[in-house]
Structures are given as structure tokens and as C-alpha cells.
Amino acid sequence: MTKHHAYALGLLATLCLTACHSASEKQEASGVFEITNPVRKDTESTREYVCQIRAIQHIELRALESGYLQSIFVDEGQFVHRGERMFQILPSIYQADLQKAAAETSFAQIEYDNTKKLADGKVVSPNELALAKAKLQKAQAEQSLAKVHLGFTEIKAPFDGIMDRLRVRRGSLVDEGDLLSTLSDNSKMWVYFNVNESEYLDYKAQAAKGSVPTVQLVMANGKTFEHIGKVETIEADFNNETGTIAFRATFPNAEGLLRHGETGKVIMTTPLKDALLIPQKATYEIMDKKYVFVVGKDGVAHARQIVIGTELPHVFVIDRGLTVKDEILLDGLRKVRDGEKIETKHVDPNEVMAHLQSEAS
């Protein structure tokens, strides 16, 4: 073989390899892309929040009068009933004040009765009778006031509840306003948790559709409280520093397991009826706006803006922009341009969702 023939064969081999390589690259670039449809089904949105647990009534018990603490009728942690005696401040001075006021009332009553007889006989003027009546009314008012002060020496439970720690001991000298203990009504518990603005708007939108969320409480030991709660109140204003607003859920607590001041986690689950779902990986974002590629029957991919209603694990709930009949690009979004014709393979949307659920679990 001549050098000329060898050179020609080598050149031919190089051209063949180059052509084959180019064809391979072209075939790889024009690969098959998976597409699927949005799926419409009932689902639910679940979110977790750190919470604080409070009694529906939690008050401070303070002395209403000054004096020595004569008796304590309750103990720390005891359940007390409404009207039950709790503390007794030495009442001697207040009893004496009441007796004095009662005596002055009796004297004023006698004086008024005598003046009335004289006024009926026209012996004294009507003005003197009016003055005697005013003295009687003043004495009666002072007697009532003395009775109230005496009543303040006995402190009774204003509602059914559990006693907290005693801040004083029998024999202590207490002043008006001194803290004696606290009392908690734990029959129901208020659970507070903070929700950001986006989640608050989602909650209001779902509530307007009749999708009332259920609330579960996970206690500090990781166990779920047996009763379901209900969101009853949302505060009026957002906290400008944190960008959140406080929700309050009420839980029944007949067994008394929950106590004022505990912490835990709230799991709020909102049912989403007939929701339109797509995989999150089928979307891309430009300038804080979400887009998908919708592939027509002609195989041409077109970018379309969508509005997300709710974000779930690996899934978006679509508010606007798609229907179940649209076919969307499932993968390879970065390899496709708007208006480009592509070769596609349809994947059943239920299979796609089942795979995503297995990933989430």
C-alpha cells in the first residue's frame, strides 16, 4: 500500500468517526422528555408550629387588706371549688370597725325616728328631718363599707381551679396588694402559636372555602394529646418584628393532663378538597413567579405562568394557570426552550404522585 492510499484511508476513518460522534450528540440533544398531567384529588396541608400552653383563666391572688395572715385553708397543687375559703387575714380590727359602724347606725336610726315624730307634730322643721335622714344614710353607708372591708379579710376562690405555689406562710404580715398565690382553671387550655403572613393568607383562603383545619397538640414528651383542638381566635395585628400573627386554639382538658405554662408543637391540618396538584420539580421560577412548560399536541413546549395556592412536600397545589387536560414537562426543564418542539413520553400522573408520596414518607 502506498503512502497516498494510507493517508486517504486515515482521512476517511476520521471523517466517519466525526460524523458518527456528531450524530450521537444530536440524538442525545434531542432525547425523549417525560410529560404528565396535573391531577385533581382530595388532600390535606399539614404544618407544624412551636406553641405555648395557657389556662383559660390564670389569675394572681392578692391580699385586699393589710394584716397578719391568720389561716391558710388550701395547699399547693390542690384543686379548689368556686367560693371555697383559701386565706384568712386576722379580722379583729375590721370586726371592731364593723361593730363601731353598726352602733353609729343604730344611734342615727334612733335620732331619725325621734326627729320624724317631732316633724310629724310640726315641732321641728322639715329641714331638720332631712338632716337626720342624711346622717342615718351616712351611717348605713359606713356600716356597709366596714362590712366590705371585713369581707376582704377572707379570700375565696373566684372559680374552680388548681392552686399554685404559696408565696406566704401563716403568720406573715401582708400588705394590701401582696401576692399570695395564683389560681389556674385548666378545664380548657388555650394554645398559642405564631403563623407567618403567607400561611395566614392560605388559612383564610381555605377557611373561606369551608375547609376548617384540625389542630393536634404534640406534647414535650413527643406524644400526641388525645383531644383535637380548634382555632377560635386570631390576633388583630401582625408583629412587625417577626412578621407573624398569633393564633389561639382551644383544647378540652377534662383529665387535667395539661398545665399552664407547658410548651409543645401544634400540627394544623387543613383539608384541601378537589385540589389540582403538580410536582414541584415540574416548575421553575423567574422573578419570584412560577412557570411550567405546557406541551401541545404538536409537541411544542410553551412556558406558562402559574399561581401556587399551597405548598406541600414535593407538590404544589395550583390556584390558577392549569387544568387537568394540560400536559406539562416533568423533567429536563433546563434543556428546553420556549417554542421548541420536543419528543415526549407520557407518564401516568397517579404514578408520579405515588412516587412523590413515597419520597415524602
Report whether pLDDT(87) > 90: yes
**Phi/psi at 293 (5° precision):** -100, 120
In which band, very low, low, confident or very high, does the pLDDT at 266 lie, cut at 50, 70 and 90?
Answer: very high
Is the Cβ–Cβ distance between 157 and 87 less than 8 Å? no
Q: How far is CA 48 from CA 103, 131, 271, 278, in A?
A: 67, 72, 15, 23
**Phi/psi at 222 (5° precision):** 85, -5
- pLDDT tens by residue, 55-85: 999 999 999 888 898 999 999 999 999 999 9
Q: How far apart are CA 295 and CA 30, in angstroms?
A: 15
Can you name the residues that pair with 48 across neighbouring β-strands?
267
In which band, very low, low, confident or very high, does the pLDDT at 23 lie, cut at 50, 70 and 90?
Answer: very low
Is the Cβ–Cβ distance between 303 and 252 less than 8 Å? no
> Residue 122 CB: number of other CB atoms within 10 A?
8
Q: Name the CA dihedral angle for 304, 310, 316, 320, rounded to a multiple of 10 degrees.
A: -30
Q: How far apart are CA 286 and CA 288, in angstroms?
A: 6
Report whether pLDDT(36) > 70: yes
Q: At what angle do helices 92-120 and 126-152 cross, to 10 degrees?
A: 160
Which of 44-48, 71-75, 110-114 reaches the highest mean pLDDT? 71-75
| Average pLDDT along the chain | 86
pLDDT score at 12: 38
Is the Cβ–Cβ distance between 53 and 191 less than 8 Å? yes
